[in-house]
Each structure stands twice: as structure tokens, then as C-alpha cells.
Structure 1
Amino acid sequence: MGKDYYLALNLTRSATDVEIKKAYRTLSLKYHPDKSRERGAEERFAETAEAYDVLSDAKRRAVYDQFGEEGLKSGVPTGEPGGFTGSYTYHGNPQKTFLDFFGADNPFSQMFEPPDPLSSVPPFGGMFGRAKPKQDEAVEKELWLTLEEVYCGSTKKMKISRRVLNDDGQTSSIRDKILTISVKPGWKEGTRITFLKDGDQEPNNIPSDVIFVVKDKPHPHFKRSGTDLHYTAKISLVEALTSTTVDVTTLDGRVITVPVNEIVRPGFTKVVVGEGMPLSKSPNKKGDLVLHFDIKFPNQLTPTQKQAIKQTLGKSK
């Protein structure tokens, strides 16, 4: 009579993949030779390893369920002309199965000690010094901020969805997490905020870092360049020629009045020192506010108006 792999894992033939993994996890820990002192523990450890090796593989399990151990290890017809499944042979190393299953999350890792340089026998069957778990590549997300949020500083709550390992340590489910970002005044576009290991969880892997990259939301009135703020004021042709004042509502809600006594020519700008964006490393210091001008020209002039302008400005030469 062939081996009963389901019995070896204390399972029925209707067992799911999750139940198979859970059973092997429990029994391999119970009967591990370096942990258990029960008589026959080493044999039970080997039996559970072979059973898991078969039942965790969908093709092997299907052949075993239909033809038993003999069919699995001898091979059976596939139904195609001349077709025949390959024979299965367990590699015979239950320790390898154990390590492949637990990987870097081996539950006995706390028992490992650095090897004695004078000893030729590595601890725990040579497990010390195995490859460290790898970390997935960082996940980048855009953090869109208004200029008001960057100017004054703010707090942002960002919801992310990620895979989280279930209690069995192998399967996962999607769960939401809220990450809190304290926006510092003056953060530049491109600033990166990193949350360590908040990415998807997977067996034997270190979760990736989640990185938010600051982006400026378009503003109806301001545009920033470095630490300077640029603002376009609309004025009439008369104001451009005769002087005016411009009221600007700042990003923190103040209203500043800027006198413009110069003749506003095409390309002319007016700089207000210290009314730009805060410097992120020195929030008490600020860049400049740069005023640009959009001059409204009249659609038409009466003959009298044209004559007055000619008399005032003189004929161009």
C-alpha cells in the first residue's frame, strides 16, 4: 500500500492549498530534529516534508489523487499518443524543503550563532550565512500640493492600499493604510518623502519603501520658480503710462499694495523683495514676488482722443 500523504499532514483529500501550507508549517516546526526530542521525530519530519513537496504542487497532487504513490513515482499515460508523465522522486532532503518553505523567515533564526572559526561544522546544518531577504523596489506616488499648502505648511492624510500577509504567513489580502505627511513650508517640487517598508508584504521578502514626490497643483494667480513667486497683474494702457497701484492677495491671505510709478513697457517686471516662497531650511526667509503686467489696450479711439494723444506724446519719428 502506497504512502498516504494526506495522512502525513493530518489532512483530508479536500484540503485547500492554504490548509496544506498551514499543516506543513505546524508539523515541520513540531518535529524538527533540532527542536523535538520525541521518538521518531526525524522520520515524521521527513514524511511531512515529502508530503508537502507532493501536495503543494498542483500537477503532482493531481496525479497522486488519481493514481496514488505508485502512479506518481512510476509515471502514467497522459492521454496523448505516446504521452507519459515523468516519474517523481523526492530529493530526500527534508531540511531543504524546510528552508525553501520558511526562507529568511526561518523561525529558528534566533537560535543561530556565528560559526566558531575553529569548528568545521556549521551550526544548524549549514543554515548560517544563507542569503539575506531582498527588498522590493521602492514604490513612488505623486503628492499634489497647492501653493497655499506649501507656503503655510500643512498635514496630508494619504490612503494607500497594499498587500498584507495573513496569519498563515503565506497568503495575503488587500488592506488600506493611512499615512500622515507633515508638509514643511517651502518644500520644493520634487521633494521626496519616504515611508520605510510600507509596500506590499510577501513571504520571504522585505516590503518596499513607499515614496511620495511633491508636485505643484496649478494655481489661478501664482506660479513659483525656485523660491520666487510670479504674479500677473492686469492694468489699463492709461495706468501703464501714468502710474498705478496693484493689490495682491498673498498665499497666506494678506493683501499687499504695490505702487507702480514706472512706465510699464513690454517685458517690464516689478520685484517685491521678501514676498515669495519660504525657504524650506530657513522658513523665516523668503524669496521674492515678481509682478508681470498684462496691459489692456482700448479696442478703438475717437478722433478727439487720437488728437489728444498726439498732442500729449508728440508724433513718433
Structure 2
Amino acid sequence: YVPTFPMTTSKRDYYEVLGVLRDATQEDLKKAFRKQALKFHPDRNKESDAGERFKEVNEAYQVLSDPQRKAQYDQFGHAGVNGQQGRGFDGFEGFGGFGDIFDSFFGGSSRQAPNRGADLEFQINVSFRDAAFGVPRELKINRMETCDRCEGGKAEPGTDVVECPGCHGEGKVRRTQRTFFGQFEQVTTCPTCQGEKQTVQTACKKCSGRGKERKSRKIEVQIPAGIEHGTKLLIHGEGETGGRGVQSGDLYVHIGVENDKIFDRKGDDILMTAELDIAMATLGGIINIETLDG
């Protein structure tokens, strides 16, 4: 059985509206939509047909970004998706302005599940001589680490982890927002499970269901010989945990080199000042000077 659809008024091809090929990926569609929407948004484009062009771009993206509606459009054209577009309305409820529309639509203002733990920064000072020769230093830092009771799972050991009721195990939720120019569908990280697709029935008693806890840890850092004041050392993976299955952040160690009473530095050269009496300065001679290693 092949369904039939009533004739529709003449419309431009949606792929032509967005300026993409028919095999465009979802990422291609998103980039094209943003480009065209920015181009025809009436706040920036004062041409008389800008509003209609903006609505046309929005309508095209709403269809092509939805796999099911895209398949119908690819097979039957505009007739296959007739009547499925969201209606517009007067006003900009839910949006503060031009930038807010795109920030909200593309998730700029939504909470996103972290893809790594937070980075940490630490400041230490070393003496001039230690900076010249290098030295190991022990740092004591406080950071979030994986809970050793639930092993990052957030649930009290022996209790169940269930499908998130907020997103039904998808990790994302869809929210429709209406603007004067049409209807936008926004996909955001589920606020209930934070994109993890599951929730716990009983939270871990030690970490209160966070999956991580703050701990004090000692880390040895090797200060390399010849390090300069203001250098930042990067230690991979020694930042805060990102949770189960998520990469830990990094640790940045900022190095301050203390001034020395005798020596100064210019690039890779060590400088010092020696006082001479008149005779030595006039006739020359030999003097004893102190060096970095004595």
C-alpha cells in the first residue's frame, strides 16, 4: 500500500533552503541552519522578506533534523510532511533576544554531561638554586575522587540501578519552544540523570549519591632543572575525577622562582655582581666568587 497525500502549495526544496546536499549529515544540517538563520534573522537582516525566509529556514531544519520526517520528505516531498510543522505565534516568550534563541536551541544554556573531570591549579615557589638544578617537591592537594564505597556508581552497594524515569533511558529530553518565527525543538541533557540514562533507588551513604568524595592526596612533582619563573607544569590525569567511565581532569602547577641575594638570571645565563677596589679595577687581578653549587 502506497499512501497518497493531498497536493500542497509550491515550496522550495528544503535541502535548497539550507544550502546542503541530500546526503548531508546531521552536523552539516545544524551548521547550515545556523548560518542561514543568522543570515535572515530580522534583527540583522532588514530586507522585507527576511522574516519569511527565516521561517522557511526554520521549517526546513525542523523536518530534515528529524530522521522520521526526513525519510517521509525524501520519499514523498512536501506532501509527506504536510501539516506537521509547528505553528508560529506572536511574541518571543522564553527568549531574551537574538543570541538567546541560538544559545538555547543549540544547548548553549543547557546543562551538559561532563566529558572529563575538572582541572586543578596549584602554586608553588622554589628557590633560585632549586630552579637551576631541579628538585622533587611534594604537593598536598584536595580533590574530588571516586567514592571507594560505591566505586562511582552512586548507589548503595546491594541496591538496584534503574532506568531514568525522566528520559526513559535515553539520557536526553526534548523540549519545544515557540518563537515569533516558528517552533524550535531543543534536545538537552536529561536533568534527572545528567545524561547517564540511569538513576539509583538508594543513594550511597558515604557520598550521598554523588559517586565521588573529597580527599586529601600527596603528589610528588619533579621540578625540572632550569625552569623559569611563571612556568606552568601540566600533570595529566591528576585533577578531579569525572565519575565512572569519565576521564579525570589535569593538574596545572604554576612555578614561582624566588629572587636570590647574589645571582640573577638572563635567559640561560647566570649573572652576579662583584665589588672591586680601585687597585684591582685599575691593574687587574684574581678574585674569588661564589657559584651556584658553592
Which TM-score tier does this pair reach, normalised by the shorter chain?
Answer: 0.3 to 0.5
Which has the greater radius of gyration?
Answer: 1
TM-score normalised to structure 1 length = 0.34
The higher-RCO structure (CA 8 Å, 6+ apart) is: 2
Which has the larger helix fraction?
1
